[in-house]
Amino acid sequence: MEGPILVVLAAGMGSRFGGLKQMEKIGRNGEVLLDYSVYDAIQSGYKKIVFIIRNDIEKDFCELVLGRMKSKIHCELAFQNSDTLIPPDIFRAAQEAGRTKPWGTGHAILCAADKIDAPFTVINADDFYGREAFVSLGKYLASSEASASIVPYLLEKTLSSQGTVSRGVCEVENGYLKSVDELTAIEKKDGRIINTAADGSIRELSPKSPVSMNFWGFTPEILPELKKYFDDFLNTFASDVKAQIKSECFIPKAVDSFLKQGIFKVKVINADSHWFGITYKEDKEQAIKKIDELTSAGVYPEVLWS
């Protein structure tokens, strides 16, 4: 198969949004943000899409989203449920402790591992990344030098006026990722951008900080390393269930661990691309406005899947 694979993280619960934001209608003909990412991926040479969803949304996802694009590109489904790939004893302990959290984006990739046989891009279903990002990363992944990679975005351009957001704050050195720090309570307050840690400590962040929006590029070689990392994550959870009840296996945390161990390098791919997304319900109207502007400008056709 020529061309990279697009792996879409679409199994999230939408806790801040309060619903299935990956299926919120944004376009003039009922398109969701995911429609535009898939359209951009097709235009950029991607040859297969793997959607990672939960079993309980399969029917709605197939009817509302997959049905209109599956004739344009090869599509496959992978399933990330609370018990997928989780040893029965650990899953039972999690249930008894009252865990409701999913196991994270790193877990999601592993749920689709059997469908990944080529370099691949990972994205969130509820984010808009811009075609330039798909073109730049897709071109790199199709090259002979492809390795782990990321397209970062400026922190100040990825905030929500409605509340806190989670971002992987990146440190870049000589064109490569040096570290990535997953922060889960970032907001703009009193003219400053800050993150409030679980212990209440405040960290001020530069507006120009590059951040991960889960626009990653990987080769299949990452999968066994990610499996080892997730196994360690589960062992930590099992050793102290109550302390780890809300912990998740995030891609940025896994990548940061790989960097510290020197397992591989992560190439930073700069793209002149703008991000927007839906974190809170109030973000939806702004997303609708931006898609409408792009459609009026001719970036996207009036009917996306004609």
What residue segments make up the domains of the chain, in order of their start? 5-152+212-248+261-296
pLDDT at site 15: 37
pTM, to two decimals: 0.92
Q: How confident is the model over 212-226, as a mean pLDDT?
A: 96
Residue of 258, 237, 232, 235 lying closest to 247 (CA atoms): 237
Q: Which CATH class is domain 5-152+212-248+261-296?
A: alpha beta
Identify residue 143 by its one-letter amino acid code: S
β-bridge mates for residue 167, sequence order: 183
Helix H or strand E segment including 137: helix 131-141
- What is the residue-averaged pLDDT of the chain? 91
Segments of 190-274 assigned E as strands: 192-196, 202-205, 210-212, 216-218, 266-268
pLDDT at 50 exceeding the cut of 90: yes
Percent of the chain with pLDDT over 90: 76
Q: Quick: pLDDT tens for 252-265.
A: 999 999 999 999 99
Token readout for 295 is 């459609």
The answer to whether 152 and 211 have CB atoms below 8 angstroms apart is: yes
CA dist 306 and 301 (Å) reads 9
pLDDT at site 283: 85
> Kindly report the CA angle at 23 between 36 and 130, in degrees rounded to 5?
20
Render the burial of 104-130: b for 16+ CB within 10 Å, e for the rest: bbbbbbbbbbebbebbbbbbbbbbbbb
